[in-house]
Structures are given as structure tokens and as C-alpha cells.
Amino acid sequence: MSDKNPESSTSSTSCPFSISRSLTDSQTVGEENAYANALAQFDNALAHLKIKRGVADTLRYPKRELSVSFPVLMDNNDIKIFRGYRVHHSVVRGPTKGGIRYSPGVTLDEVRALAMWMTWKCALMNLPYGGAKGGVVVDPKLLSQRELERLTRRYATEISLMMGPESDIPAPDVGTNAQVMAWIMDTYSMHRGFSVPAVVTGKPVEIGGSLGRTEATGRGVAVTMLEALRLNGIDPQSATAVVQGFGNVGSVAARMAQEMGLKVIAISSSKGGIVRESGLDPSALARHVEESGSMLGFENADQISNEELLALKCDVLIAAAVENQITSRNADQVKAKIVAEGANGPTTPEADEILNAKGVFIIPDILCNAGGVTVSYLEWVQDLQSFFWPVEEINRKLQNLMLKAFESVMECARNYNVPNREAAQILAIKRISDALIIRGIYP
């Protein structure tokens, strides 16, 4: 017996499952198309470099893209179809590396942009990787833990064509975490017949994860923020910070900013934020969110919208949520002296121009949030040699690599007389095009 409407989500009597469709592939347009923004930034940097057109075009487009639709058995016996992607942007400097995002807003263009930014980030940090990214169009908060596990194991199987410890090594991003990485590692290992811990990073330490990885991105944000304060002659002990996004990156960056002496006056998540002029305690707020599920009701703090938060007077604005938060619509409202881009792509090219004209010191995403991929690299190296380092060694290596990259971006900005983002991309693109020319064009 067949179901009359193939799109119907109601069960047919002969089939134990019903099929409902949750496929979407809506692409954003205009200023908020992340790939268009990544290309605009690329062209800005390219204008300062003498690179052959064909070499530049090789870096303009992703190396390979996989788009998958796959079924997942839900707890109520429905089968839902999900859409996912994995994009490799460049393999010139080594295997590809990049996170996996679970979010209802995931699009192919977003994944392309994030993969491209990963290529620049790895080259800027001098890590032997190209860039990649993956994503599934899903709100993980709407799934049970069993559903999340089934979705992850199926997605991992679908992209296993693209994944491997020598070819492409995923990591967590928005909506994914160490547990999701553990399921991916286990799925891949089951297919191979033996454990392959180096296939993903950001895993729990019990199965080959690195000490310090969970905090690495936020720690890197804090390291670059401190350098930016020093360079701008601002004493951290009298400085204020505002943090947009209170997930992995934002919560650690907020805690470390407070430990470094800054007063964190406002923090937000997707549901809005809170402000307290006398300073918030990020650790106490994290406990409050853990217990109550939201920032609401945190003692002696007033509610604030994300728009209002971005316009607060402060020394450092840590943008640690998602892309396209500072745009042509609100950039002139930003009063921060320093914008630390903990998120990928939080500032559009149009907003960049406005902030640059105002003299705002931007720590660009590919530098500011590179702590995550840096410790991911250290995790991968530890996995490959099956020899693990203490957290002090990891943090020291992270700090040294971040400071070195920060200094080279500042030097490049001075030499080319360009804003920090252009400087960071100039350095990265030059390294990759040099490697491409040395390798030669196959065959």
C-alpha cells in the first residue's frame, strides 16, 4: 500500500516509519552572504600581492564540495531527512582541517566561506593544513541525545569519503561539542576496524583529546586581546569588555578577560543579554545558565538586546557568536576601541570600512580565534605519535604561536599600510600561493 502524498509526514499502514522532509538549502543574499564576503576580503588582500591570476583563481574556489541528504530515525519512529555538507577549500599546504556546524541556518555558501577562512587561518598560524568545513541543517536543541547520536553517526558515514587522519580532520564548531566528535571518531573507527583517534580533534581526553583544547579558542582570543590593549596603550586593569555569544568561545574568553583584570560589563547569547556596569562574574553566570537554562534572572543585572549590547561603550567588544553581527546597519553605533573577532566572519566588509574609518582596532577572526585550530593541531600531533603532553606545555605552545602570528600581522599591516584583516590575509595568501607555485600545477 502506498502513501498517496509522498511528502506526507503521516505513516502509511504498511511502513513502520513515516517520512517528513526537513531539507532546506536557502542561500542568504547581499551583505549577509558569507561566501561573497569571504571573496570580497580575498580580493582586497589580493590587490596588494603580485599573484598570477590562475593561482589566485585556484584559491578563489573550493577544491571539492560534498552535499548529502540522509535519513535519521527519530525517537517516535519517524524518519527525517537532513541535509549536510563538507567542503575542502585547499589542500596545497596539507590535509584539510575545519569544524562541523549543526545549525538551522547552515547553507552551502556559509560552509564554503568558513572553509576558505580556515585555509587562511591555518596558513597564518603556519600549521600544515588547508581549510575545510562541514555542516548539517539542524537545530540540535530540538533533538534528543539518541537522535543527535544517530544523526552524527549517519552524517559521519556520509562524509567519510572526504574524511581521514591524513586527508581531512573535523573539529567542533557551533552546535557541536566533544561528545559529537567522540561519536564521529567511533563511527570512523568502526568502519576501519581499529581506533583512529587522529580523525577528529576536540575529542574528550579519555579517547585521545588534548588537554587545553576546550578552552583553546577563548584562551587565544584573550591572548590577542591583551596584546591589542598593550599596543593601544590601554591598561587591562582599568579596561571594560563586552562579550557577544556565551558558548564555548565566548564563555572562556569572558572568564579569561576577567582573570586578566578587565571588567566584563555585558554578555549575551542568541536569546539576548544582560548588563551590569559594576561588572559581571562570567563563571557565576555560566553556573546560572547551566542551572536555569538562560541568563534571565542573574542577580543585579539588567536585560539588554543584542543590538544594544553591540553599541555599548567599552574598550573591547568580543564578538564570539556567529557571522554577520556587525554590518553596515549598526557599525557606526559600535563604540568599542578594539573588536576581538572570536567568531568567524562577525564583521561584514561594509562594516569593516566603517570601523576602519572610525579607527577601531580589529583583531581579525583568522588571527583572534586561531587558538582552537592551533590546539587541534597539537591534538592531532599527539594522536599520531600516541604521546601526550601536560596542559602547561600545550598552553605555552599556544601562547607562543598566537603571539608570533599577532606580531607578524602587525608587521605586515605596517609594511603594507593596510588594516589588520587585510594584513592577516595578505600573509596567509602569500604563504599558500608560494606553496602552490613550488609544488607546481599537476600534471
Q: Is 217 exposed, middle or buried (0-12, 13-18, 19+ CB in 10 A)?
A: buried
Task: Rank residues 95 and 104 by Cβ distance to ligand NAD and give the closer one.
Answer: 104
Please name every residue paired with 341 in a beta bridge, in sequence order, or none if there are none.
Answer: 319
Residue number, 51 or 125, with CB nearest to ligand NAD: 125
Distance in Å, CB of 244 to ligand NAD, minimum:
5
- DSSP letter string over 66-118? EEEEEEEE-TTSEEEEEEEEEEE---SSSSEEEEEEEETT--HHHHHHHHHHH
Provide, rounded to whole angstroms, the least separation between the CB of residue 248 and ligand NAD: 4
Q: What would the grid cell of residue 329 be? A: 546597519
Residue 344 vs 433, nearer CB to ligand NAD: 344
CA distances from 189 to 79, 167, 184, 368 (A): 26, 15, 8, 33
Other CB atoms within 10 A of residue 191 CB: 11
Angle between helices 420-439 and 34-46 (to 10 degrees): 80
Q: How far is the CB of 181 from ligand NAD (least distance, A)?
A: 11
Under the rule (CB under 6 A), what is the footprint of ligand NAD? Answer: 172-175, 217, 244-250, 268-270, 306, 320-322, 342-344, 369, 372
Residue 263 designated active-site: no
Euclidean distance between CA atoms 249 and 243, whole angstroms: 10
Q: How far is CA 251 from CA 58, 136, 289, in A?
A: 37, 24, 11
- Alpha-carbon gap, residue 138 to 267, rounded angstroms: 25
The amino acid present at 258, given as its one-letter code, is Q
Q: Is 272 helix (H, G, I), strand (E, B) or coil?
A: strand
The span from the CA of 234 to the CA of 182, in Å, is 42
Smallest separation, CB 122 to ligand NAD (Å): 12
**Closest separation in Å from C-beta 57 to ligand NAD:** 26
Of 229 and 249, which has the nearer Cβ to ligand NAD?
249
Pick 106 or 156: Cβ nearer ligand NAD: 106
* 19 or 352: CB nearest ligand NAD: 352
| Residue 63, C-alpha cell as written in the block | 577544491
The CB-side HSE value for 93 (13 A sphere, CA atoms) comes to: 26
Please give the residue whose beta carbon sits closest to ligand NAD in the complex: 247
Exactly one of 80, 133, 203, 263 is catalytic; name it: 133
Residue closer to ligand NAD (CB basis): 46 or 249: 249
| Shortest Å distance, C-beta 215 to ligand NAD | 9
First to last CA, the chain: 55
Smallest separation, CB 51 to ligand NAD (Å): 27
Q: How far is CA 282 from CA 19, 79, 222, 300, 413, in A?
A: 43, 40, 14, 14, 33
Q: Which is nearer to ligand NAD, 46 or 321 (CB)?
A: 321
Q: Are 85 and 27 in contact (CB under 8 A)?
A: no
Shortest distance, position 21 Cβ to ligand NAD, whole Å: 25
Q: Which residues pair with 170 in a beta bridge?
A: 98
SS3 273: strand
**CB atoms < 10 A from the CB of 28, how many?**
16
Cell of 359: 579607527
402, 252 Cβ separation under 8 angstroms = no
**What's the min distance (Å) between Cβ of 286 and ligand NAD?**
11
Closest CA to 219 of 368, 365, 388: 368
The residue (of 246 and 298) whose beta carbon lies closer to ligand NAD is 246
Could you give the 3-state DSSP secondary structure of residue 73?
strand
What amino acid positions are annotated as catalytic residues?
133
